Amino acid sequence: MESHSSNQIEEQPMRIAIVEDDKVFLHRISKALVDGFEERKVKTNVTLLQSSNTFMQVASREHFDLVLLNWSLSGSIGLDLIKWMETYLMSPPAVLIVTQREKESDVVEAFNTGADGFVTKPFRPRELAARAFAICRRHLLRTPRIAKESELVIRHLKLNSSREIAYVNGEEVPLTHQEFRLAHLLLSQINCSLSRTYLHEYIWGYCHNPKTRTLDVHIHRIRKKLKLTAEYGWNLVSVYGHGYSLQTLDKAQENQSSDIEAKAV
């Protein structure tokens, strides 16, 4: 196990995000990580972000192995991002909190929320890098990058999550990143009503203007591309005032019958 994890770290750049609203600390943390990982002959791909909203937008499109997160961000609390990642990301990264807070209660709260490590400012650069590296190594043991491909197979559809590829009747159908996430979510929640707010936050990482038609356009596209139609036993419907629901045709007919019976009563 250890050697397998070490190979992953050595072969592929570690994808790291630093979320810090203080520019000075943002660059200090970045330099400490790059230098420390180079010392261990490990390549890094570091993304610098200064707000939680920007991070959510980027993390909805890109995967990170590790996120270094300030507790206090402009207009938000860093720990809330941990909850967001656990809720909306298919493969949440490891999290190292870097903060000026040092009370025992703060450390406990961070770990209880889901943090994998805690470092106080001002930090010692080599120690920070060592902790970050150790967290990455443990994280890859739990969720290895080179893993068996995860596939969702339902009726005429097959979705490969690790490669974000969809197949309809055995033929590959190109989907954008957002289209794939939307399709995967709907097919994982068959016969469930999903709110527009939830769908927006899950796919794009933040709430869109309620007047936007972006979600509706994506629904139209995946309905057409994946043949989510009655001919194939599906009914992808708009739930008035709420959102969308992907229903199997038998369930949709059952719901219609229930509505008729309710009206008759």
Greater confidence (264 vs 57) lies with: 57
pLDDT in tens, 45-58: 999 999 888 888 88
pLDDT score at 148: 41
Residue 116 shares a structural domain with residue 228: no
Whether residue 159 sits in one domain with residue 188: yes
The residue range of the domain holding 239 is: 151-264
CATH of the domain at 136: 3.40.50.2300
Residue 171 is part of a domain; what is its CATH number?
Answer: 1.10.10.10
Residues 118 and 228 in one domain: no
* One domain, residues 39 and 135: yes
Alpha carbons 23 and 30: distance in angstroms, whole number: 11
pLDDT in tens, 142-178: 664 434 447 788 889 999 887 789 999 999 999 998 8
Number of domains within the chain: 2
Same domain, 42 and 91: yes
- pLDDT for 93-140, tens place per residue? 999 999 999 999 999 999 999 999 999 999 999 999 999 999 988 887
**Cis, peptide link before residue 122, omega less than 30° from 0:** yes
The pTM score is 0.59
Residue 94: Cβ within 10 Å count: 23
